Amino acid sequence: MNLEFWKGRRVFVTGGTGMVGSWLVKHLLRLNALVFVLVRDADPQSELYRSHDIQQVSVLNGALEEYLTLERAINEHEIETVFHLGAQTIVGAAHRSPLQTFEANIRGTYNLLEVCRLHGDRVRQVIIASSDKAYGEQVALPYTEALPLNGRHPYEVSKSCADYLAQAYHHTYQLPVAIARCGNVYGGGDLNWSRIVPGTICALLRGEPPIIRSDGTYVRDLIFVKDAVCAYMRMAECLGNEQVNGEAFNFSNESPLNMRELVAMIQKLMQCTHIEVDIRNDVKGEIHSQHLSAAKAKRILEWQPDFTLEAGLRETIEWYRQYYAEDVS
């Protein structure tokens, strides 16, 4: 991490109350950046609030769909670096109500990109948090950045569109932007209990059967939140490099596994192998098998994950133990 790069840098973060955004803010504050966070809904359970990091940042209230809110944030606060993590991130919610997802993920992205273009004399780096879901379903595995974006279901389409918008603003207006496509990010602070990692951990802490919404054979990449945060920050540091500007990068620990294997690993780490798993097999609108090659990020950005899946899960489990203990008390 380039300490001098971040010291005093004026950074705008969308999605700062989310799990990844909260940890990104934490890292930025440790490096003495000046952090400005867009907050739509104040969530006291968010890691941003629970850690009291919210007291060290400038909060701008509003939504991604509000162009003038974004324009005021970037212009009045003279933002240099933008991390766009704000989005509707739940696949099931997108399937049930696609309009809200399209508004936040597509309109929100082009609003922000347009503001950054308009104030390009100040904005030096724009990092767009895309997803492996932008690729849609592909025959070839692992996914590489050379594959076309092929989203079909609402959430996938919203990520494909946001990805293409970022590329358009780079190629047409030379906006200094790079795109991060991560696998499934996990870690402490994820309060979306429908997701497999927090849902499984909290079910086991309560002595209840963990739920697998699919048939258990769906394959995914997982990347620990601290590794994802370091990837985003490394991209920003390298945006002056012609091999980075306008490019997309996959980030993964390149250790795919299916959901039965993931739940079994969590059970073993928590010593709860005696609790049976509830396999629902009622998932809709999700791709069966996805995992990423991170070879490009390793070669060009010199990025490497610091956490194995087991090490990341151990730290995540401990976070939820503390969270659950505080909640009970």
Under 8 Å between Cβ of 94 and 103: no
Mention every residue, 6+ apart, whose C-beta is less than 8 A from residue 8. Answer: 32, 33, 34
Q: What count of other Cβ atoms lies within 10 Å of the Cβ of residue 326?
A: 9
The rounded distance, in Å, linking the Cα atoms of 86 and 89 is 9
Could you please report the per-residue DSSP string of 259-322?
HHHHHHHHHHHTT-TTSPPEE-----S--SB--B--HHIIIII----S--HHHHHHHHHHHHHH
Q: Classify each residue of 209-244 as buried b or exposed e, where b means 16 or more C-beta atoms within 10 Å of its C-beta.
A: ebbbbbebebbbbbbbbbbbbbbbbbbbbbbeeeeb
Catalytic annotation on 155?
yes
Residue type, 126: V
Catalytic residue among 143, 155, 186, 320: 155
Q: Which residue type is seen at 216?
A: G
Taking Cα atoms as reference points, which of 290, 329, 317, 287 lies closest to residue 200? Answer: 317
125-129 and 81-84 strand pairing: parallel
| DSSP per-residue codes, 181-226 | EESEEE-TT---TTSHHHHHHHHHHTT---EESS-S--EE-EEEHH
The owner of tokens 């079994």 is 264
CA-CA distance, 166 to 129, in Å (whole number)?
10
Catalytic positions:
155
